[in-house]
A and B are shown apart, each in its own frame.
Chain A
Amino acid sequence: MRNLPLILTALVTCALVVVLNMNLGSIPALGKFLSPQHGFWKNAEAADNDYSGEFNLEGLKGQSTVYFDERLVPHVFAGSESDAYFIQGYLHAKFRLWQMEMQTFAAAGRISEVAGKRTLQFDKQQRRMGMVFAAQNMLRETEADSTTKNAFDQYTAGVNHFIENLDDRDLPLEYKLLSYRPEKWTNLKVALFVKQMAKTLASNENDLALSFAKNFFNEAQLKILFPQIPDSLDPVIPAGTVFPPATINPVKPADADSAYINNYNIIPLNEIDKPNPANGSNNWAVSGSRTKSGKPILANDPHLELTLPSVWFEMQLTIPGMNVYGVSFPGCPGIIIGFNDYISWGVTNAGRDVRDYFELKFKDRTKTSYWFNNSWKKVDSLKIETFHVKGGNTVYDTVAYIDQGPVMFDQDFESRISPGKAYAVRWIAHEPSNEMRAFRMLNHAKNYDEYLAAIKLFVCPAQNFAFASVAGDIALWQQGKFPARWEQQGLYILPYVDNRYTWQGYIPQAENPHVLNPARGYVSSANQRSVAGDYPYFIPGDYDLYRGIRINKRLESMPSVTPLDMMNLQKDNYNTLAATALPLLMKHLQKSGLSVTEAGYADSLTAWNYFSDPGIVAPTIFKIWYDSLETFVWHDELRPLNAIGFNPHEKTLIEALLRDSAFSYIDDINTKNKETLSDAVTASFKSAASTLRQLALKNYESWGAYKNTTIYHLLGQELLPFARSGLQIGGGAHIVNATQHNHGPSWKMVVELTTPMQAWVIYPGGQSGNPGSKYYDNFVDDYAAGKYYQAWIMNESDKNDKRIKSTLVFNKK
């Protein structure tokens, strides 16, 4: 056996190569990953990288040039609209391919193709919710219009041009870490992206949880726990605006009280990945009559989960007849929020309930027919969904579709549902729509009429579109398609044994809440209920309250407004919830029994000016105290709801206490004593103080440290080194500066409508999605410091400006 060393060495070498070529759990194949000619080193972009290049491509109509400035913002000068969308697709892919593909995988319920079995239930829910169905409906409508079809086609061609020329070794880092390859981009993926936004912003109702709540509370109690109109509402549309009577008057079915309102017996239906209730935004526009320059100023900051890469990509798109600047969504053509030479617009979420559930009864497990009008009716279709689970078997799921929409919950998905019972979902996001046309027209709009013509086409997710023009108009429309409901319709799961409980019509577009050039000289919205009770339609939703109050109060008191004032307002840390609640809480706090530390905490609250600045402790004390007071008041009676993560809104408690300091829920039903507000306030204060002492030991008690603002990579905790954490930023929930732990202003923009336009912008991220690029997070420190960049609205004659770092040329072949 003199050849033993040879055999052994050969075996060891082979084993080494095989092991290094294999993915081990979450560790990618190390040989490939470390090879400096194939792996992650290829993504380590040189700090002085030049993005210049020249392409000669078939399918382009003419010559176009892209100038990248020192922040890597591309200024696209295209010969035609068609070429502009091709280039936008190419640029999105070049800098953000992994993110845009991952988000559309999520929309389409395909995450388990990458992540394996653990995300299968999420994927199934996405399909059952009708996400793909919704995207297909949108795509059909978009492709029926030759202009928007061309926009999608060109955008898709641009993305695919990048993908087709992408060598394995140049794949974005995340593909290398997760070991897969991008697939071809399609127009459907654009629609899927839009539907993912619809899910983020227009699926925030709590119909399922509220229906479950009926097992424990009667209608009168639910109205107290989950009220429709807050006492201190300052609506989007100025109070006193007169609304014409409704032209659609839906009729409540005669048996609604017994068959619907007081009908219960529902198991908790679990919604996976429910949108963050903090998803929202601020926007406002101030008329020239109130500004120093005499020209309107518009401001907008959409609040979304803060991620790296960012959801936004900043750019300027210039073609003959259009020069638009702002942010785009990687995955979608056009500019979503921004300005052109004539107008500026910004959006906040309407937050209205546009999704309802209908309970039906299947004849049997084949789900082919259901009970309707006293007989068995055939379902419209049965769709077999296929899931190619990574590292597992292919899974199939059958989803029935009826005229209302997909049957989302049934025994096949949620085994606790009793046999035959099922719940179909009707959602405005399913309806055919062409939002691309709306954005395209908005990008081109030159005045109020053109803005209105554009946004009229917008169906879902409904937004408050703030508007200002160089001509001097300001306006705001709450725009989307909304069902016209009878009082209480769709708050809970609706019965579906006949047609009587379905939607009877839609609110005519012209009757949507809106305001043009109001006497007060400004328009604003911050996700509060858009109108008070005098609006002639029933409009349930998930609304904020306090940001809007603060914004209006500040705007009301500001003389000769400047852009700097508007930036400062976006950074305003005034905590209106605290200012509303603390005087009452302090009044009822029994100070006699407090320890020295506790008394110290109480003193710092007394001295607090209600600004949630990062360096102080008072905001932390208030936050923990209020949370623990909510627990004290609600947790006993509301235990079953708490168990499914469903709680009253924060505003509900303080509004109830201000109304009645003997509010019946204060009493802890688990004790013999009858607790008073003072007992509740004091007990919760002591409990908060104990938490605070723990935090103080670790130096985590200042608001900035406690909140620990963090921008996670899209893959979250698993890629923590790719995140930016510990950012010292003030603000928080219900505060104009809505920066929470990992959620907040995802883009901040202030536009002064002068000629030429002036704008100040920033977002917490960077233009490149590559964690190996210096442009991955280069805005983050400036963002945390509260800085803005003056947007450079480039003219092509500036092409020799020293701010231009790279130039990319596209020629027709």
Chain B
Amino acid sequence: MRFALAFLLTLVLSYLSGLVFPWWIIALVGLSVGYLINMTPSKSFFAGFLACFILWAGIAFYTDIANEHILATRVGALFTLKQPILMVLITGFIGGLVTGMASLTGALLRKGLKRLTAA
């Protein structure tokens, strides 16, 4: 349940904040959700990773289809990638990695602060 909540919260907040703020807002979203929703650090990482992977790869995939793969093919070739779908996956991976790491940091921060208050 918590995993699903963290996942959805990250996905929705990342999308909405991305409409207004610079791209790195996904790191702050990941950090906050990781901190607020009490899960094991590894679950936090995966929730964050998955949310932003799906968000970024999803938008990219949709854009790529509507674009008939024109730009992903050209930009992909700049990065020596032959298939436009690889640009979609790399996009998702980069977004997921940043958010996942931020969520992990949030979860560890929560644990650290808890120890501090308990001591």
Contacts and interface: CB of A to CB of B under 8 A. Distances in A.
Interface in A1-43: 2-3, 5-6, 9-10, 12-13, 16-17, 20-21, 30-32, 34-41, 43
B67 A38 contact: no
A656 B4 CA distance: 85
A3 B102 CA distance: 16
B71 to A, nearest CB: 3
B60 interface: yes
Interface residues of A, number: 39
B46 interface: no
B94 A771 contact: no
Given A3-B112, A31-B24, A41 B105 contact: no
A716 interface: no
B101 A12 contact: yes
A774 B70 contact: yes
B23 A44 contact: no
A435 B74 CA distance: 39
Contacts of A20: 24, 94, 98
A772 interface: yes
Nearest to B60: A36
Interface string B53-80: 0001001100110111011111111100
A44 B63 contact: yes
Given A13-B98, A774-B70, A35 B109 contact: no
Interface string B77-100: 110000000000011001101100
A690 to B, nearest CB: 34
Contact of B18 (A10, A13, A35, A40): A35
A622 interface: no
Nearest to A773: B70
B108 interface: yes
A41 B104 CA distance: 28
Given A21-B24, A37-B19, A772-B67, A2 B108 contact: no
A722 B67 CA distance: 16
A46 interface: yes
B109 A17 contact: no
A34 B60 CA distance: 9
A720 B68 CA distance: 20
Interface in A34-84: 34-41, 43-48
Contacts of A2: 112, 115
Interface in A539-559: none
Q: Which 5 A-B pairs have the closest CB atoms?
A: A721-B77, A772-B71, A35-B23, A36-B59, A44-B67
Given A3-B112, A37-B19, A47-B68, 5 more contacts: A5-B41, A37-B59, A40-B75, A44-B64, A45-B70
23 contacts: A2-B112, A6-B105, A9-B101, A9-B105, A10-B109, A13-B98, A16-B101, A17-B24, A20-B94, A21-B24, A32-B22, A36-B60, A36-B63, A37-B59, A38-B23, A41-B91, A44-B63, A44-B66, A44-B72, A46-B66, A721-B77, A721-B78, A771-B71
